[in-house]
Chain A
Amino acid sequence: MLKIKNINKNFGRLEVLKGISFEIKRGESLGLLGESGAGKSTLARIILGLIPKDSGDIFLNGQPVDYSIRDIRKIFQIIFQDPYTSLNPKIKIGEAIGEPILIHKILPKNKIRQKVEELLSLVRLSKEHYNRYPHELSGGERQRVGIARALSVGPSFLILDEPVSSLDLSVQIELLDLLKRLKDELGLTYLLIAHDLAVIKYICDRVIVIEKGEIVEDDKVDKVLTSPSDAYTKKLIEAGLG
């Protein structure tokens, strides 16, 4: 579905991404594992078109991706790490979820409320959440709002950038289970960025390990866990799951 070919990105003299290439198949959940500064989020931003790449190509279903059109947001969406800063504190939950539907003119105004209520129930929030403000919600609930908002435009590809790392463990599991279910129900494709191998193991089929802007490992999760080919991956597994 998505093909990334030889992506390079520098910030000044700092080489953040050095020749990154990989593919994601439709319906796959690919984990992107790396420590802080490895280049994970930069890669996510480039795939989304939020920042330009220096060189390299991105293909969607065989065609180069055109980031100049707004419609690209109907295909790619992102869930951010921090559910506290990623929602506007002055906008009601229901309106936050409905806003992308309005902007992309997906439904007429009078149909939006019903759609938002469907999305709320899809992420297991209740109708009453429509009129609440972000500060009235817990971290886990806010993250569900983020997911509902991302899904409102009917994307096929979600980038999950550390979606559970600021949450308590029991809430992490609830959200990961929700993400798994949504993927199956809606036939989504995931790129899950995490520094925690356990989170990737819980949800992904395949994992890419990135160190200092380079891919050092790309294989099935089970395979990487049992017999990592790279020394750095081995260190990450020992530190992260030992």
Chain B
Amino acid sequence: MLQVKTLSTLFYKDDSIIKAVDDFSFYIEKGETLGLLGESGSGKSTVALSILRLISKPGKIVSGAIELDGQDILKLSDKEIINIRGAKLSMIFQDPFSSLNPVFTIGDQIAETISLHQKLSKKESWRKAKEMLQKVQIDPDRIRNYPHQFSGGMRQRVMIAMALSCQPEFLIADEPTTALDVTIQEGVLKLIKDLQRELGFGMIFITHNFRIAKKVCDRFCVMQKGKLVEEGSQVFNKPQKPYTKKLVDCMNLLYA
């Protein structure tokens, strides 16, 4: 289980302080999909980066705990967190165009993660990388291709292969389909859900798109200005808070 307890992450700007995440708590079990919903600037991505301890200056995690199977990630040394990041906890990002290194082949990039965390030989790592490509429905013979040789949807699949290559317990998916066309979105979402059933990881699905969240997630946390507004599976059917209701009404107005 991954538990975020009273997390506060602040950003210091000149003489002002921005509370990007403000006393925020939630939990997620393995195998489950939690939707982290909110409008832009609500703090969703800062929560994700805090969990992976990727907050850097001028930002700072000032209080709270992030417990992975009872162990507080915030108390780990920098060396210890490296062993968890990409292994037990993994992440895919919104923009598949900027999240792959353009000068290395996709094989280099997937195998790097594998060899780093699983201490495998180069040959073994590449063999596993090929297996992962197969899992995300990319022809393994393309392992020596560079990112620019793939479409947006395929790059996102490569990112998924990389993120899942070490069988993480939890995957953070930050707007994974926002940059993709609707017909491509569907394929990527289905792939993620199928792999989740197969591999059993828990997923924090971050999005501002309520329509997609409704399709993909079991339970939801709605965020506004760094705070938790509402939590549960009732968000779409019986929103409890006025803010949630407003957002759901907007969605129904546009997509009903």
**Measuring CB to CB, which residues of chain A are less than 8 angstroms from any residue of chain B?**
35-36, 139, 168-170, 172-173, 195-199, 202, 235-236, 239-241
Q: Give the bracket for the number of chain B residues in contact with chain A.
A: 10 to 19
Known: A169-B254, A173-B254, A199-B254. A239 touches B246 (CB 8 A): no
Do the beta carbons of B39 and A169 come within 8 Å of each other? Answer: yes
A196-B40 CB under 8 A given contacts A169-B247, A170-B250: no
* Interface set of B (CB-CB < 8 Å, partner A): 39-40, 152, 181-186, 208-210, 246-247, 250-251, 253-255
Across the interface, name the chain B residue whose C-beta is closest to A171. B39
Please pick, from A168, A202, A240, the residue contacting B182 in the complex, using a CB distance under 8 A.
A240
Whole-angstrom distance from the CB of B224 to the nearest CB of chain A?
A: 11
Q: List 26 A-B contacts (CB under 8 A).
A: A35-B182, A35-B184, A139-B40, A168-B39, A168-B208, A169-B208, A169-B251, A170-B246, A170-B247, A170-B250, A172-B250, A172-B254, A173-B254, A195-B181, A195-B182, A198-B254, A199-B254, A202-B253, A202-B254, A235-B183, A236-B183, A239-B183, A239-B185, A239-B186, A240-B182, A241-B255
| Known contacts A198-B255, A199-B254, A202-B254, A170 near B182 by CB under 8 Å | no
Docked Cα-Cα span, A36 to B184, in Å, equals 11
Which residues of B sit under 8 angstroms from A139, Cβ to Cβ? 40
Minimum CB–CB distance from B226 to chain A (whole Å) comes to 16
Closest 10 CB pairs of A and B: A35-B181, A168-B39, A239-B182, A198-B254, A240-B182, A169-B250, A239-B183, A239-B186, A170-B250, A198-B255
B contacts with A: majority SS: helix
Q: Which residues of B contact A241 (CB under 8 A)?
A: 255
List the A side residues contacting B254 at CB < 8 Å. 169, 172-173, 198-199, 202
A169 touches B210 (CB 8 A): yes
Give Cα A199–Cα B40 distance, bound, in whole angstroms: 19
Residue on A nearest B215 in the bound complex, by CB = A242
Query: In the assembled complex, which residues on chain B have CB atoms less than 8 Å from the CB atom of A235?
Result: 183
Given A168-B40, A241-B255: A173 and B250 within 8 A (CB)?
yes
Contacts A169-B39, A173-B250, A197-B182 known; list 7 others, CB within 8 Å.
A35-B184, A168-B208, A170-B250, A236-B183, A239-B182, A240-B182, A241-B255
Whole-angstrom distance between the alpha carbons of A240 and B209 in the complex? 12
Q: A172: which B residues are within 8 A, CB to CB? A: 250, 254
**Distance in angstroms between the alpha carbons of A173 and B181 in the assembled complex:** 21
Min CB distance, B41 to chain A, in Å? 9
Expressed in whole angstroms, the Cα–Cα distance for A178 and B39 within the complex equals 20
Output the residue of B39, B152, B184, B254 with the most chain A CB within 10 A. Answer: B254
A210 to chain B, nearest CB (A): 13
CA A236 to CA B182, docked complex, whole Å? 7
User: Which of B182, B208, B210 gathers the greatest number of chain A CB atoms within 10 Å?
Assistant: B182
A239 CA / B253 CA spacing, docked (Å): 18
Tell me the complex Cα distance, A236–B186, Å.
10
How far apart sit A97 and B232, CA to CA, in the bound complex (Å)? 46
Question: A240: which B residues are within 8 A, CB to CB?
Answer: 182
